[in-house]
Structure 1
């Protein structure tokens, strides 16, 4: 009897001990998370290792331009802090939005300092580029022709999950914390193969340095389906914002069977 009760509670605790897992990894081009693969020197980040398996690590060779790794920045987890002056990281070159499709997720918070803050993109290099950035509480997306204002204000010093899904040649759906906020038209062009700038326009005189923290970045080379996008945002929500997990059917079945066994044994 005691063994059965022990088994029951073991199964329950296994369910309760659910941890956030990224299940959507097909066509994952870049995956940076501050709780893994970060190399520091004196607390300053020299390399942020790509977890996608593509080895597109973000790095900074100039010691005066390295961001800081901050522990316990969000929900007990680390984040990379950019100073709004000159910090920035640069990946190796890759094709973002191949065939004019793609999905970008970033968990970040901004500190308003009166300047433009580049979060990520390939802007300020020659050719066709893209950029996700903010000016105070206004979010913007640069499509290499013009800046599209995203009609969704951001809150000073508050972490959010921002999701950009390019699902056609000229349309982007924008989500905040998993909720569709707007969609907007962009230029019908193909961004070129370039390194990704994170935190500033690295190696350009107009840095547009970002003042704030970035906890995680995911870039997919395809327009994710609604269920795939929701799954990625669920993972980020569980991890950073204590969003209640959505259990697999097998886990629910395990719990119900355990409860049934426990009640049966208790009655007999």
Structure 2
């Protein structure tokens, strides 16, 4: 082989290597890598997502699977009491819609003492009354988290001496991220990542919540829920802020 041919052969090999490297660098990312958020799992007791683990028939949800690994699925066997799955509603993602007569029982209650709770959704109650997010069921204590009068959030725990706490958060009838964080001495309420109010008190035990969308089987929520996470600890401020940023980005809030 002449020297000129040798040079051309080497050049061809180099070009082939570059082409292979280029193909590898631009290979597609798997969908799971793009869509799965990095979620802190330490202390995560309940995780409901409207785009994952929803068992529905003709748009009605009989089971909302808990993604925390604790098996606290939300269930409802009675068809008229089942909430609806509404596709492509919030940043192209579905929501679970409660229309005033629907709820889901948790297979096992969540019962934190200190806690951090994240809710993505909105209050659909047009009247100046309350709309349930999480509440009691069966013979459990009357512990609640709910929207109140279109602009407030109310928390109460008759089973653990959590006083009636109201926080003005602004318009709850638009999609938003609600965060409640209690460290054993103080409850902080954030709206879309911004502190809306702080309340100092001490409780006497766990805040037991056992139903989504209802107060026993008497009063119900009119609401859209996209995601609910409950942690059994007051997660650090930087971690809370990171979760809020991830949820706001995910749902386009």
> TM-score if structure 2 supplies the norm length?
0.81
Distance, in Å, in 1 between the alignment partners of 2:183 and 2:211 is 23
Q: Which residue number corresponds to residue 56 of structure 1?
A: 72
Q: Displacement, 1:124?
A: 8.0
Distance, in Å, in 1 between the alignment partners of 2:189 and 2:171 is 13
Distance, in Å, in 2 between the alignment partners of 1:88 and 1:218 is 17
Greater RCO between the two (CA within 8 Å, min separation 6)?
1
- Matched position secondary structure for 2:108: coil
Q: Which residue number corresponds to residue 212 of structure 1?
A: 223
Distance, in Å, in 1 between the alignment partners of 2:59 and 2:130 is 26
Task: Pick from 54, 57, 65 the counterpart of residue 81 of structure 2.
Answer: 65
RMSD: 2.5
1:165 aligns with 2:181: yes
- Matched position secondary structure for 1:94: strand
Q: Displacement, 1:50?
A: 0.6
Q: Spell out, residue by residue over 1:59-116, the C-alpha distance to the aligned partner (whole angstroms, 9 max, x if none).
A: 11111111000001100101100002x100010223422xx21111110111133232
Q: Displacement, 1:20?
A: 5.5
Task: Pick from 134, 142, 154 the counterpart of residue 156 of structure 2.
Answer: 142
Q: Unpaired segments of 5 or more residues in structure 1?
A: 243-268
**Quick check: which one's strand share is greater?**
2
Q: Unpaired segments of 5 or more residues in structure 2?
A: 1-14
Q: Paired residues, what number?
A: 229
Could you say if the C-alpha distance between residues 185 and 70 of structure 1 is closer, same or farther in structure 2, counting changes exceeding 3 Å?
same
Could you say if the C-alpha distance between residues 18 and 37 of structure 1 is closer, same or farther in structure 2, counting changes exceeding 3 Å?
closer
CA contact (8 A) 1:89 1:197 kept: yes
Could you say if the C-alpha distance between residues 95 and 82 of structure 1 is closer, same or farther in structure 2, counting changes exceeding 3 Å?
closer
> TM-score if structure 1 supplies the norm length?
0.76
- Matched position secondary structure for 2:119: strand
Distance, in Å, in 2 between the alignment partners of 1:126 and 1:96 is 11
1:90 aligns with 2:101: no
Task: Pick from 118, 123, 126 the counterpart of residue 105 of structure 1.
Answer: 118
Q: Which residue number corresponds to residue 246 of structure 1?
A: none
Larger Rg computed on CA atoms: 2
